[in-house]
Structure 1
Amino acid sequence: MASIRLKNLVKKYGDGFPAVNDISIDIEDGEFIILVGPSGCGKSTLLRMIVGLEDITSGDLYINDERVNSKAPRDRNLAMVFQNYALYPHLTVYENIAFPLRLAKGKHSEEEVDRLVTGAAETLELTDHLQRKPANLSGGQRQRVAMGRAIVRQADAFLFDEPLSNLDAKLRGQMRSEISQMQRRLGTTSVYVTHDQTEAMTLGDRVAVLKKGELQQIASPRELYEQPVNLFVAGFIGSPSMNFLPATIEGGKLQTALGALDIPADRAAKAEGRKVVLVGVRPEFFEDAKLVDEAKKPHGSTFTATLTHTEWLGNEQYGYINFDPAPEVRELLNNLAREMDADELRPQVVVTLDAASRIRGGRESEIWLDTRKLHLFDAETGENLTRDAEAGAALTAEASEERAEEIENARQAESAQHEQSAVTGRSGGSHAAAS
């Protein structure tokens, strides 16, 4: 296992364009880091710089406190899992997994190769498929074979480059779970590139959000979600995305396209001196006013709106409210959309409603908004004016402690399972001898 330290890494191509621009990240031994961002943000380039497939223009890369800028990929002891699996079609699953061991000629005995391959196959539930060829496997099984090849190398770290993007939605969910459990059991340092929201939020100890080659924020998924540092992170993290509404503050109230909203005085004070702010509201901060507890109502604001339509999903439903922004605000939303690799940010508010709500499209309805949780952003710089950095750091620290406990529990469970298997094996052997 290894710690990996990125210090002011820069990657420029021939035209001088910085694909990676002054990125510094400290990855702890055993940590699972996600690199996420829109297409062209530099996440795959950064991963390839770590493994040695891309030269470093400037800055320093350390693995276990050793500077490795000039080291060849084979000398960094890192295992990479690619998007396209990179399996050899003429080899069996067994030989595909064993390939990196065979490549190190004379380093591993046949007994050691067999032990490592069968161990990896057991971890990934591939034992019954070892004599099959890749063409006869499902996409999920092929991806497990690719991961098995990484495991047998006993590398210091795993690097994943969008490994699940070729799988359908159901298989992606299954493989996410398998990768997460494998990483907990092995405790191997892992860096994982994805553009998928769910993968980023469910897999990583910390998530690094990149935009145009620059690191915007690195934190636990929960800190990114609840305490985003700027407009870009707030809009990129979360599905459905955070709603953005232009607003002015008058008399302690937010004047928005949804009407006047009461907000806590401390939040209103953050926007003093600004003509216009952008209000960031998660869809789940809304609710059907008829279903809100009376004790909870004073902590929010109620407004009347006509929804264009609703989408019922069984456990919840989404409602949609259109609004007409001023031309300058529409341009701001369009710029943000381009940064997030989206076609446009429609002037629309998405609200999450309880499945029991009877609100329907075309009807005027009363909606309640929890104004304690909304964010205010500077319309020009994108800075989150209401971010509580201390609360955010506490969320990431808490996630780190919980993750360490999960890894320890997983290792203890696996150790107990091995001991039980050994006892069962000895018992079976003694019975055989007696007979």
Structure 2
Amino acid sequence: MAAISMRNIVKRYGDGYQAVDNVSLDIADGEFVILVGPSGCGKSTLLRMIVGLEDITSGDMLIGGERVNQKAPRDRNLAMVFQNYALYPHLSVYENIAFPLRLKKVPDAEVKERVTEAANLLQLTEHLDRKPAHLSGGQRQRVAMGRAIVRQADAFLFDEPLSNLDAKLRGQMRTEIARMQKQLGTTTVYVTHDQTEAMTLGDRIAVLRRGVLQQVGSARQLYEEPANLFVAGFIGSPPMNFVPGRVHDGRIETPFGEVDATGERLSKVGDRDLVILGLRPEHFEDVRLVPADKRARGRTFTAEVDVTEWLGHELYAYVPYESPPEVTKQLEELERELDSEQMRTQLVVALDASSRIRSGAPAELWFDPERMHVFDAASGENLTRDPDRVFETDEPAAAEIPVPRHSAEEQTKS
């Protein structure tokens, strides 16, 4: 096993396109780090530079403390698992897993021992004599993982390994990958565009946008203390609501009334003529379901509900509003980049399933202003973020960080 350190990594192609822009990131020995972001953000390019499949324009790549910029992939002792499995159809599962060992002319006895261990770990023992064509997608991906395991590499690199699987198999494979990494304790770098994979798998998540590293932290840190509009819009589903606001004399004006800005979180913003306010859908409640003592600590407002969706475990309500052109333009760009749901003209509210709020009728809603984020309207910077905040645990409760209600195929595109 080995730590991976990236120092000011830049990747610029011959036509001048800069795919990775000055990325610095330290991955500890045994750590599981996710590289995440929309299509074209540079995450796969960065992974390929770690393994040596892409040349580094400038900067230093260190593996186990050794600079490897000029080392060929075969000399870096890394194991990579691809999206398309890359199995040999004419070989059995056993021989597919054993293939890298055969290339190194490892003795048969040791080959058998390593393949057997990997097969036991991945529950492939009964399939060792079968050919890839007779396996399911999940089984094929496990064979690809087994081939990586037997190499006893310093680090595992995963390039969107679950993209070809259906939603149910993805869930199963996520669990298996997490279990395998914990058992082996091998340094792992995992690339995905799926935020569900990112938030449920890694020790830390690195969010990239147009080749630039936006924020690195645990799932809880990114969810509760996003660095900017981009991270806030990418993490969480449905995405965070963004509405225009104004801060003046200790008050914040919103499309749904004024709130007090004297609390610990909001007081540091200061007077501003235009800000973007961030409110997560799950932080709203039907006022009729809020206990009286809790209701007094928050803000109640009445809004006309356009559409509702009852999903059994939750009720989604959509509330239209208007934004000034400055905010609309920025949110339109964010929507396109994230291939996301509409952010600029409607408030999405996630309520308890017992709520009786209905479409086409006014509704009384409640939220806690201290959970609201305030973003600079020009730069997108989170003005209320506390980068030094210490969390009791980095394993969020399901109610606090919801799993997306749509499948990964509907939510994002590769």
Match of 1:102 in 2: 102
Q: What CA distance in whole angstroms lies between the structure 2 residues aligned with 1:116 and 1:62?
A: 28
Read off the aligned partner of 1:192 and give its amino acid letter.
Y
Counterpart amino acid of 1:23?
V
1:233-248 to 2 correspondence within 5 Å? Answer: 233-248=231-246
Q: What are the superposed Cα offsets for residues 367-414 of structure 1, whole Å, 9 maximum, x if unpaired?
A: 0011111100000011110001111xx23x8539xxxxxxxxxxxxxx
Matched with 2:17 is 17
SS at match of 2:273: coil
Q: Is the 8 A contact 1:337 1:343 kept in 2?
A: yes
Return the letter of the residue paired with 1:93.
V
Partner of 1:68: 68
Aligned to 1:364: 362
Distance 1:266 1:399 in 2: 23
- 1:380 match: 378
**How far apart are residue 125 of structure 1 and its match?**
0.3
Which whole-Å CA distance do the structure 1 matches of 2:333 and 2:351 have between them?
29
Q: State the SS of the aligned residue for 1:167.
A: coil
Name the aligned partner's letter for residue 203 of structure 2.
D
Deviation at 1:351, TM superposition (A): 0.8
The offset of 1:328, in angstroms, is: 2.4
State how far apart, in whole Å, the 1-side matches of 2:289 and 2:153 are: 54
Residues 83-112 of structure 1, C-alpha deviation per residue, up to 9 Å, x if partnerless?
Answer: 00000111111110000100112xx11110
Deviation at 1:251, TM superposition (A): 4.4
Return the alpha-carbon distance in structure 1 between the equivalents of residues 180 and 203 of structure 2.
Answer: 14
Amino acid at match of 2:286: D
Which string of whole-angstrom CA distances, capped at 9 and with x for unpartnered residues, describes residues 239-281 of structure 1?
A: 1100000011244332222222334444443332321010001
Superposition map of 1:215-234 within 5 A:
215-234=213-232
Distance 2:134 2:37 in 1: 34
Deviation at 1:147, TM superposition (A): 0.2
Q: Report the secondary structure of 1:14's partner residue.
A: coil
Find the residue that maps to 2:374 and give its secondary structure.
strand
Q: Equivalent residue of 1:276, what SS?
A: strand
2:298/2:366 contact within 8 Å kept: yes
The question of 1:33 aligning with 2:33 is answered yes
- Mean alpha-carbon deviation: is it higher for 304-313 or for 152-161? 304-313
Q: Which residue number corresponds to residue 419 of structure 1?
A: none
Partner of residue 193 from structure 1, selected from 191, 196, 202? 191
Instruction: Give ranges in structure 1 of 5+ residues lacking alignment.
Output: 401-435
List aligned pairs for 1:30-179, cutoff 5 A: 30-105=30-105, 108-179=106-177
**Aligned-partner Cα distance in 1 for 2:337–2:350:** 25
Distance in 2 (alpha carbons) for counterparts of 1:234 and 1:264: 23
1:62-100 CA distance string (max 9 Å, x none): 111011100000000000000000001111111100001
- Code of the residue aligned with 1:177 in structure 2: it is T
Q: 2:168 is paired with a residue of what secondary structure?
A: helix
Aligned partner of residue 390 in structure 1, secondary structure: coil
The separation in 2 between residues aligned to 1:173 and 1:267, in whole angstroms, is 36
The SS at the match of 2:388 is helix
| C-alpha contact 1:338 1:344 (8 A) present in aligned 2 | no
Q: 2:309 aligns with which of 308, 311, 326?
A: 311
Which of 385, 394, 400 aligns to 1:399? It is: 394
Displacement of 1:152 in angstroms is 0.4
For residue 258 of structure 1, the aligned residue among 256, 259, 272 is 256
Distance in 1, matches of 2:80 and 2:194, equals: 19
Could you say which structure has the higher helix fraction?
1
The gaps in structure 2 that reach 5 residues or longer are 396-414
Distance 2:200 2:217 in 1: 13
Contact 2:32 2:189 in 1 (8 A): yes
What amino acid does structure 1 have at the position aligned with 2:222? Answer: L
C-alpha separation in 2, matches of 1:103 and 1:16: 38
Deviation at 1:53, TM superposition (A): 0.1
- Give me the whole-angstrom Cα distance separating, in 1, the residues matched to 2:4 and 2:253: 48
Q: State the shift of 1:317 in Å.
A: 1.6
**Identity between Structure 1 and Structure 2 (%):** 65
1:203 is matched with 201
SS at match of 1:132: coil
Native 8 Å contact 2:242 2:344 kept in 1? no
Q: May I ask how many residue pairs the two structures share in their alignment?
A: 395
Q: Which amino acid aligns with 1:135?
A: A
TM-score normalized by the length of structure 1: 0.88
Partner of 1:347: 345
TM-score, normalised via structure 2 length: 0.93
On the 8 A contact 2:122/2:142 being kept in 1, the answer is yes
CA distance in 2 between partners of 1:274 and 1:371 (Å):
17
Deviation, structure 1 residue 298: 2.1
- Supply the RMSD in Å over aligned alpha carbons: 1.4
Residues 313-367 of structure 1: CA deviation (Å, up to 9, x unaligned): 2222211111121222211211222333447534111111011111111111100
Deviations 1:200-241 (A, max 9, x none): 000000000000000000001100000011111111111110
